[in-house]
Amino acid sequence: MVSILAFIALIGVLITAHEAGHFIVAKLSGVKVEVFSIGFGRPIVKLKRGETEYRIAWLPLGGYVRMLGDPASGDPMSPGSAHVAEADRGRSLMAKPPLVRMAIYAAGPAMNLILPFLILVPVFALSDRYDQVTSSTIGALDEALPAWKAGLREGDVVEAINGEAISTFWQVARFIDTYSEGDGPLRMDVRRGDAPVHLEVTPERVEQTHRLVNFTRSYFRIGYQPMFQAADVAVARPDGPLAAAGVRTFDRVLTVDGKPTPRYIDAQQALAAVAAGAEVDVQVERDAPLDPRLPFLAKRVTHTLRYRGDGAAADLRHAGPCISSVAPDSAAGEVLRPGDCILSIDGVPHTLGAFVQNRLGRRPEEPKTLEILRDGERLTVTLAPRKVTLQDPMAGEIQQWQLGLVLLARPDGFLPLDSVENPARWGHAWAETTQRVGLEIEMLVDSLTGMFTGRVSPTQLSGPITIFRLAGEYARAGMDVFLRFLILLSLSIGLINLLPVPVLDGGQILVAFTELIIRRPLPAKVQDVLLRVGVVLVLTLIVFALGNDLVREWRIQSAD
Catalytic residues: 19
Lay out the sheet containing 294-308: strands in order across.
Answer: 259-260, 252-256, 279-291, 294-308
- What's the CA gap between 115 and 19, in Å, rounded? 12
Which value, in Å, is the radius of gyration of the alpha carbons in the chain? 30
Beta bridge partners of 374: 377
CA atoms within 13 A on the CB side of 16: 10
How many CA atoms, within 13 angstroms, populate the side-chain half-sphere of residue 541? Answer: 18
Rounded Cα distance between 248 and 420, Å, is 37
CA distances to 68, 106, 552 from 50, rounded to whole Å, are 14, 25, 44
- Inter-residue contact 34 to 66 (CB < 8 Å): yes
- Nearest to 284, CA basis, from 339, 333, 242, 226: 242
3-state secondary structure (DSSP) of residue 421: strand
Angle 423-429-432 (CA atoms, 0-180°, nearest 5)?
115
Contact status, residue 247 vs residue 305, Cβ threshold 8 Å:
yes
Backbone angles phi and psi of 163, in degrees to 5 = 85, -5
Q: Are strands 323-326 and 316-318 parallel, antiparallel or unpaired?
A: unpaired
| Helix, strand, or coil (residue 183) | coil
Instruction: Calculate ∠ Cα 365-368-374, nearest 5°.
Output: 140
What dihedral do alpha carbons 129, 131, 132, 133 form, nearest 10°? 80
Q: Say how far apart CA 491 and CA 482 lie, in whole Å.
A: 14
| Among 280, 555, 253, CA closest to 394 | 555
Residues near 410 by beta carbon (within 8 Å), at least 6 away in sequence = 230, 232, 252
Q: Cα separation of 554 and 459, whole Å?
A: 14
Cβ neighbours for 444, distance < 8 A, ≥ 6 positions apart: 488, 491, 492, 495
Letter for the amino acid at 385?
A: P
Q: How far apart are CA 160 and CA 157, in angstroms?
A: 9
